[in-house]
């Protein structure tokens, strides 16, 4: 595993300058790339992620989706450091089981979000390097999206993009779903089919411009009937 010293803030390689002898410390973090996106509608929620697992200039896997199913109504998308993503999802699964056994009911999306916030904060001084987005249906059956930062600050949103291409995707979503920065446009509520098409278009754009996003797109559509998964190929270069 290459040391983080070679990389800049979000995993992109720094220019090579000779500055004299440099001490290379072992860094427990690595950046594995990937983008996650979630959109909440009136009675549905969509969580989508690309499936590329990269590190530096290499690709470890082209089939490593970043959405994990938690319950019948909740899916979580985790991007960042893959090791922490795996551990975090294992811990969440274990806590879901414990809750189910003590309280005899499944955790709701809001409850999972609050629990994840405390799990992340318990590692405040050695954080999980994971950007999480939870998508699901709340108790009333409406779509809900909860977005997190690596140390547990969260809030409920209508849409959110996280991961390496988040800075490119978030403004596009603000414009198309939030109707921001547009004048004289009618605010049409988002239908499920239009949302799925938008997510596909958005990821195709992201794969064009972000090197860490590509290979394939996994979409999980959550409705009261259940979770429907679709896979769509993206650029492989």
Partner 1 sequence: MALQDICNFQDIFVDSSTTECPSALLGKKTGCNYVSALPFQNSTSLFNFRIPLAEYLDESPTQFGQISTSQDHSTALLQESTISCFPLPLSPPPAASSQAVPLPFPMSHGTTTLAFAFQGGVLAAADTRSSCSGLVACPASQKILPIHSHLVSTTSGTSADCALWKRILSRELRLYQLRHRRQLSTGGAAKLLSHMLHPFKGTKLCVAATLCGWDGGEVDGGHGTGGAQADLGGCMKTCGPRLFYVCSDGTRLQGTLFSVGSGSPYAYSILDQGVKWGLTVDEATSIAREAVYRATHRDAYSGNNVDIYHITSTGWTRRNREDLKEEYYREKERKERKMRLDMA
Chain positions contacting partner 1, by CB under 8 A: 4, 9-11, 25, 27-29, 31, 91, 95, 98-99, 102-103, 115, 117-127, 129, 147, 149-155, 167
CB closer to partner 1, 167 vs 229: 167
Minimum distance, C-beta of residue 152 to partner 1, in the bound complex (Å): 5
User: Judged by CB, which is closer to partner 1: 123, or 194?
Assistant: 123
Concatenate the DSSP letters of all residues of 44-75 into one string.
-EEEEEE--EEETTEEEES----EEEEETTEE
Q: With respect to partner 1, which residue has the nearer C-beta, 31 or 212?
A: 31
Decide whether 64 or 147 has the Cβ nearer to partner 1. 147
As measured in angstroms, the least distance from the Cβ of 53 to partner 1 is 17
CB of 230 to partner 1, least distance (A): 29
> Residue 74, by phi and psi: left (phi above 0), alpha (psi -120 to 50) or beta?
beta
Cβ-contact 228, 72 below 8 angstroms = no
Least Cβ distance, residue 135 to partner 1 (angstroms): 17
Cα–Cα distance measured from residue 37 to residue 185, given in angstroms and rounded to the nearest whole number: 24
Query: Cβ closer to partner 1: 29 or 69?
Result: 29
Q: Which is nearer to partner 1, 17 or 25 (CB)?
A: 25
Q: Which of 50, 48, 45, 44 is nearest to 63 (CA)?
A: 50
Report, in Å, the least distance between residue 80 CB and partner 1: 8
Nearest-approach distance from CB 233 to partner 1, in angstroms: 29
In angstroms, rounded to a whole number, what is the distance separating the alpha carbons of residues 173 and 32? 24
What DSSP assignment string belongs to 109-178? HHHHHHHHHHHHHTTTTS---EEEEEEEE-TTS-EEEEEE-TTS-EEEESEEEEETTHHHHHHHHHHHTS
């Amino acid at each position: 595993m290459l040391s983080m010293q070679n990389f800049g803030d979000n995993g992109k390689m720094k220019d090579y300058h000779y500055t004299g002898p440099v001490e290379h410390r072992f860094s427990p973090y690595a950046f594995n790339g990937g983008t996650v996106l979630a959109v909440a509608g009136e009675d549905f929620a969509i969580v989508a992620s690309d499936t590329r697992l990269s590190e530096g200039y290499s690709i470890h896997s082209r089939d490593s989706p970043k959405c994990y199913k938690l319950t019948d109504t909740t899916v979580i998308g985790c991007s960042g450091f893959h090791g922490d993503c795996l551990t975090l999802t294992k811990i969440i699964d274990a806590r879901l089981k414990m809750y189910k056994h003590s309280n005899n009911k499944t955790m709701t999306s809001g409850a999972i979000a609050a629990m994840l916030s405390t799990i992340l904060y318990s590692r405040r001084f050695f954080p999980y390097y994971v950007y999480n987005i939870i998508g699901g249906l709340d108790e009333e059956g409406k779509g809900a999206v909860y977005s997190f930062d690596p140390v547990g600050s969260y809030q409920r949103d209508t849409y959110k993009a996280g991961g390496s291409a988040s800075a490119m995707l978030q403004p596009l979503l603000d414009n198309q779903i939030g109707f921001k920065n547009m004048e004289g446009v009618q605010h049409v509520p988002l239908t499920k089919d239009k949302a799925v098409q938008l997510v596909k278009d958005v990821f195709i754009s992201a794969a064009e411009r972000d090197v860490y996003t590509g290979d394939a797109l996994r979409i999980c559509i959550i409705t009261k009937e259940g979770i429907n998964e679709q896979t769509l190929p993206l650029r492989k270069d």
